[in-house]
Amino acid sequence: MSPQPTPSRPLDQRTLRDAFGAFPSGVVAVAASVKGQLTGIAASSFTSVSIDPPLVSFSIATTSSTWPLLREAEHLGISVLADHHDVVCRQLAGPREERFTGLPFKVTGNGAVLLDEAVATYDCSVHEEVVAGDHVIVLLHVHEVGAGDGEHPLVFHRSAFAKLHRDDLDPSQLDGRINGAEVDRGATSTAPTASAASEDEAAKHAEDAA
């Protein structure tokens, strides 16, 4: 008779959040003009998914009141926030009518909202939505990409904003594979260093409060 598996204890949510926060990520604005109303959120769950077809993704809490509005947009704009956008990130988590006050941006003909000072921008449409626990994973089809005036991306790590720090690693000496592809040795290696803390973890959980 095979031994019965030992039941696992429920994970402490604070401990789990801390473990998730150990992984540094970038921060994006997901925004669109829906029926003439500017709508957007900040998210740190953005990731590239596929080159062919071109797909990216982000996740958002099932309790979000903003996503039901955003998903009605014909196209969504993804703007990779620059390292001076920590305040912008908190603004995008604030009152909906004030989220774009004072921000330089453009609205495409399809309604995607793209920030002028972003590091990179993506004009996308919803490809698929997958419910995963208390979040929805949103797959987006990329139609156009561009660059803003920002040079370095904002980093979110351990509930704090950070900036990229260029170290002394020689990229020509680096080897290996990531996501099944060869590492680009021509790229300059960078590492995050801690900066000002986010008091309410706005970047990581802005979608939960939206």
pLDDT in tens, 41-91: 999 899 999 999 999 999 999 999 999 999 999 999 999 999 888 888 888
Please check whether residue 1 lies inside any domain of the structure.
no
Please check whether residue 36 lies inside any domain of the structure.
yes
Give the C-alpha separation, 43 to 58, whole Å. Answer: 7
The answer to whether 191 and 165 are in contact (CB under 8 A) is yes
Give the C-alpha separation, 79 to 145, whole Å. Answer: 10
Please check whether residue 102 lies inside any domain of the structure.
yes
Buried b (16+ CB within 10 A) or exposed e, 62-92: eebebbebbeebebbbbbbbbbebbebbbbb
Please check whether residue 179 lies inside any domain of the structure.
no
* Cβ neighbour number for residue 195 with a 10 Å cutoff: 15
Confidence of residue 11 (pLDDT cuts 50, 70, 90): confident
The number of distinct structural domains making up the chain is 1
Confidence of residue 206 (pLDDT cuts 50, 70, 90): very low
The answer to whether 60 and 205 are in contact (CB under 8 A) is no
Please check whether residue 81 lies inside any domain of the structure.
yes
Give the CATH number for residue 116: 2.30.110.10
pLDDT for res 5: 64
Instruction: For residue 61, give its domain range.
Output: 26-161+198-209
Please check whether residue 5 lies inside any domain of the structure.
no
pLDDT in tens, 150-204: 788 888 877 767 777 766 666 666 566 666 666 665 544 444 444 433 334 444 4
Please check whether residue 144 lies inside any domain of the structure.
yes
Please check whether residue 20 lies inside any domain of the structure.
no
